[in-house]
């Protein structure tokens, strides 16, 4: 997608807030799509809690505040598990 520049070491790279916001919204949509069937099997409160926790865990780092974090730099981290399966 070109939103994040993995592997580049130039710390002068600028984060584009509009692109990160789009990426974060897309993440929220993926979480909602993956949890849609859960809604029929649990209470509204339980569903809301699960959805909020997933969004916080998966989408909260998709901001310019975290753009240069080393989330994807080390072996065994998120970059190796970036496939989403519902």
Asked whether residue 63 is assigned to any structural domain, the reply reads yes
Q: What are the tens digits of pLDDT across the range 42-83?
A: 999 999 999 999 999 889 888 888 887 766 555 544 444 445
pLDDT in tens, 7-25: 555 544 688 899 989 999 9
- Is residue 52 one of the residues assigned to a domain? yes
| Structural domain for 57, as ranges | 17-81
Alpha carbons 27 and 60: distance in angstroms, whole number: 9
The alpha carbons of the chain give a radius of gyration, in whole angstroms, of 15
**CA distance linking residue 71 with residue 61, whole number of Å:** 9
- Predicted confidence at residue 43, as pLDDT, reads 94
| 57 domain residue, yes or no | yes
Q: What is the pTM of this model?
A: 0.64
Query: Quick check: 15 and 67 in contact, CB under 8 A?
Result: yes
Q: How many domains does the chain have?
A: 1
Straight-line distance from the first to the last Cα atom of the chain, in angstroms, rounded to the nearest whole number: 21
């Amino acid at each position: 997608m070109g939103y994040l520049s993995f592997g580049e070491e130039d710390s002068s790279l600028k984060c584009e807030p509009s692109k990160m916001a789009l990426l974060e919204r897309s993440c929220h949509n993926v979480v909602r799509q993956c949890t849609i069937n859960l809604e029929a099997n649990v209470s509204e409160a339980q569903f809301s809690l699960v959805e909020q926790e997933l969004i916080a865990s998966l989408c909260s780092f998709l901001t310019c505040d975290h753009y240069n974090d080393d989330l994807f730099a080390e072996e065994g981290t998120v970059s190796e598990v970036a496939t989403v399966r519902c």
